[in-house]
Amino acid sequence: MYPVPPAPTPPGQKEVKPNLVGVRNKQRKGVQKAQAKFEPQAFRDQLTKHLESVPPGDFDAVAQKLDVLGNQLDYRKYEQQLFEVLLVGGLLAPGGGFIDDGSAKSSFSVIGSAKEPVEAADLKKIVDVFHKLMRRYKYLQKPFEETALRGILQYTNKFSPIDQEKLAVATSQFVSTGLASANVLVSLKKDHLVKDGSAVTFLTTFCKTYIASESVEHLCSSLRKGGVTDLEGYFPPSKQNATELSAHFKSAGLEGVVAFYLKQKSGQAKEDTLARLKEFVAEEADYDEILTYLEAIYKRAVLTEPEFISIVWTGLMTSLDMTTKPELLPDLAIKEIQEVSPLLEPFCQKPATEVALINTIQIWCYENTKLMNTFPKILKVLYSTDVLSDQAIIYWHAKGAKTQGKQHFLNATTPLVNFLKEQEDSDEEEDDE
């Protein structure tokens, strides 16, 4: 006899699936872990208990133990807790303090295992444990950098000065060896860390440790790639200026950091000044408004005088339409230069600045070939409006010219230079009489 097929399910009723009586459905391990209760303190207790069995100071044994524990404890689920234990010895509560539940601190951690006074070589052995752990469990590196380390650094003032130093030295080694980006230092720019000086102290220790094993160029490259360029922001508000910053880092033997800061500051100032000048020109702003702005930038002394005058010239000349017919452009350029000369004259008080301006104009004319033959007329206009002195023009002609189109510009300005020399000679003769 053939089996009778099951009767069709009436419309509107849910189909009842067959049930295998006596068969147990087993969950996959991954599902079990995902659904398991989240118990960070239980994880901490298990981890610290296992680490207790390792002899103090045997960091190779610690690395081996952590390797094995990855198969027993759920590192992926407790990434933050794992690194809190390994960095500071216990779990942190919101606000940065330790969770006070009577538990003992881990026998191994950066602040618990490092010697006092702090030694970089000693901490390097501890940092190597982190390297070995993350080589074995690669998925841990991202949460270590982006969550755990950042989270601890923003509460660094909760630790004692000696523990802050340990964390700073270790962080420097994490960054210099590629385990983290210097961007983790941005966590220090919290108001509470900046105001009490914790941020700048940490940053200083970080930099001193870094250059003890790597070059200043390597450090500056790491800071730049990590977006740590606004070094003033790590200083207390009353000290957020170039003078205080330079004095602080120079006293710490970090002249290279000062040079890096000034270079970054100069580059940003150039971009900002040029952009603002272009806006002024586009808006046809009043010259008094432009001059007030330029004087404020000049007083900050972030840009050298030659850099500043070059930016001013470049910004002001954006008003000139270079698509004008070649036969009309020279006259328009001369007219424009006569009008803007009052904005140049206040900042051309030193021979070096005047020569820098001439070189800027030389390159400008070289790049805008329609104006190459107008170069002598431009110098003559600026001489007549007291922007340039005869000594600056003569010096430029003798040994200050740039290589771009040099011979052409020297030949073109020879009559003007000869005239200026004759003027000098006649003035000297009058003085002698």
| pLDDT tens column, 280-327 | 999 999 999 999 999 999 988 788 899 999 999 999 999 998 888 989
- Position 213 scores a pLDDT of 95
| CA nearest to 409, candidates 421, 420, 428, 393 | 393
pLDDT tens digits for range 55-73: 999 999 999 999 999 999 9
- Position 37 scores a pLDDT of 85
Q: Are residues 181 and 328 in the same domain?
A: no
Domain-embedded: residue 267: no
Domain-embedded: residue 235: no
- Position 58 scores a pLDDT of 96
Q: Are residues 187 and 334 in the same domain?
A: no
Q: Is the pLDDT of residue 31 over 60?
A: no
Q: Are residues 206 and 354 in the same domain?
A: no
Q: Are residues 210 and 327 in the same domain?
A: no
- Better-predicted residue by pLDDT, 130 or 96: 130
* Token code pair at residue 80: 């933050």
Domain-embedded: residue 326: yes
Q: Are residues 199 and 54 in the same domain?
A: yes
- Name the domain count of the chain: 2
Q: Are residues 195 and 336 in the same domain?
A: no
Q: Is the pLDDT of residue 22 over 80?
A: no
pLDDT tens digits for range 34-50: 556 889 999 999 999 99
Tokens 């296992």 belong to 50
CA distance 47 to 81: 10
- Using CA atoms of 313, 319, 320, 324 in order, give the dihedral in degrees to the nearest 10: 160
Burial 280-311 (b: 16+ CB within 10 A, else e): bbeeeeeeeebeeebeebbeeebbebbbbbbb
Burial 382-410 (b: 16+ CB within 10 A, else e): bbeeebbbbebbbbbbeebbeeebeeebe
- Report the predicted TM-score, pTM, of the whole model to 2 decimal places: 0.72
Domain-embedded: residue 44: yes
Domain-embedded: residue 265: no
Final residue before a domain boundary, out of 214, 231, 254? 214
- Position 169 scores a pLDDT of 98
Domain-embedded: residue 409: yes
- Residue 388 sits in which domain range? 322-432
Q: Is the pLDDT of residue 8 over 80?
A: no
Angle between helices 255-283 and 242-251 (to 10 degrees): 160
- Position 424 scores a pLDDT of 76
Q: Are 358 and 309 in contact (CB under 8 A)?
A: no
Q: Are residues 177 and 53 in the same domain?
A: yes
Domain-embedded: residue 392: yes
- Position 242 scores a pLDDT of 85
Contacts of 299 (CB under 8 A, 6+ apart): none
- Rounded to the nearest angstrom, the gap between the alpha carbon of residue 37 and the centroid of all alpha carbons in its chain is 41
Final residue before a domain boundary, out of 172, 192, 214? 214
Final residue before a domain boundary, out of 164, 187, 214? 214
- Position 266 scores a pLDDT of 87
Domain-embedded: residue 279: no
